[in-house]
Structure 1
Amino acid sequence: MTPIALTIAGSDSGGGAGIQADLKTFSALGVYGASAITAITAQNTRGVTAVQDINLDVLGAQISAVLDDLAVNAIKIGMLSSPEIIDVVAKHLNAFNNPIVLDPVMVAKSGDTLLQDSAIDALKSKLLPKAAVLTPNLPEAAKLLNTAEAATKDETLAQGHALLAMGAQAVFMKGGHASGAICTDYLITADDVTEFSAPRVNTKNTHGTGCTLSSAIAAELAKGQTLINAAQKAHQYLQSAISRADELKVGSGHGPVHHFHAVWEN
């Protein structure tokens, strides 16, 4: 069988994040990608200039069309800007029993807000309990918990366990926003904590890192990997994509990571 993953997320016209990053990641990792677009953003490496949510009926129809025909092995959920969009997505996934990777996308790399404050409670109540794994960065975790951003390992783990208590089966705390020469992510489950560490790469080209990490986990889950193996492989893939990002010459701001670093010739 062909492994299939579905991304439910916003479109990034610059191609570095959102569904474009998700589909590139799926393809790079040998998974067929399908998509349901939640919003259209006008953006590039310098910022977001416009956002238009997709009509709710059209959004629901996209999800239904994919799930009615394709044998989807895993779903990655990204940008969901409003409570109404979250409600539509949740209702259409009621009967879906394979892994869901929930990336609580709140702010673009440029600092532009992508999730309305009014939608945070809906995200926590309607989608977080459906997640096989929640993948927040440190600012997103703090926002979900309405607390200060974690500044130490102990605080990061405590926030991860607090999010776990909200209903997700696992929480992958991303360490990209922390300081230090080593970047460490933490996979937190009810039974264990697994650390994934790598040297921090000195590059400004990190647009789409969060989308890429969560979609890489979804891709590996779609291929039948265990969660811990999927997280390990996703961490390694993103590390390589960031390390090779400067080989791309895209835009004048925060450029994308190199999704196809293992395929393209230098």
Structure 2
Amino acid sequence: MQHARSADGTPIAFHRRGSGTPVIVIGGAFSTAADASAIADALSEAGFEAVTVDRRARGDSGDGPADARERAPFSPEREAEDVAAVIDAVGGSAVLLGHSSGALVALLAAAHGAPVTHLFLSEPPMRFGLDEPAADLPERLQSLVDAGRTREAVLTFQREGIELPEPMIEQIAASELMPHLESLAQSTVYDATIAAATSDPDERMLHLRVPTTVLLGAETFPLLERAAPMLVERMPSAELVRVPESRGHSVDPAATAAIVAARVR
């Protein structure tokens, strides 16, 4: 494990395996670097240096500078700067592979000028102004976290931010996974904020000169089925690639690595 120092001083943890062109994997909600181990193995076997990242407030990464007395107000640009810091640490340019909210972070990083050679956006949860969550969701989540009500923050984000079915939320709440999710509660504030900022992407995001591949799996959420083609229609640099092996809003490692290899090489 290594750390990159983001623009605001936050330490961002990342892991490297393999050799070749760096491909930085940016996970979605509640994910850490450990959750990307399978796709990292597949990318490494395909001849890339796979770089998995603990996003801000997750895993071994910080949530603001270690010597800060209090956390500064969050803005989506902070995570774009985090990605830029990791890119700098692994050689100065990289391919980005972002999944779910991680795809939004990847797009933000490229739009803010990070040296990205190719974008792979896996099932980005964009709404394009349709059925948006309540505007005060990030604020309410932060209030819950600040009050120590991390369980409620997690469930509120799952219900309002991700819109999981209630039976699935109840199943997760009763599972052994719940304590781990609670440890990531602060990150729900950041994901909700980033989703709101990118849900209807601006011209800077849409008119990147970076080759972009939007990946869409099978049996995924209706929101994602709608969002992927809508993004490609609006983004001249983008292509839509269906990945039938990726099911249920997950990333199939082998199929995804093959798609990356075919385009980067």
What is the TM-score with the length of structure 2 in the denominator? 0.45
What is the TM-score with the length of structure 1 in the denominator? 0.44
Larger relative helix fraction: 2
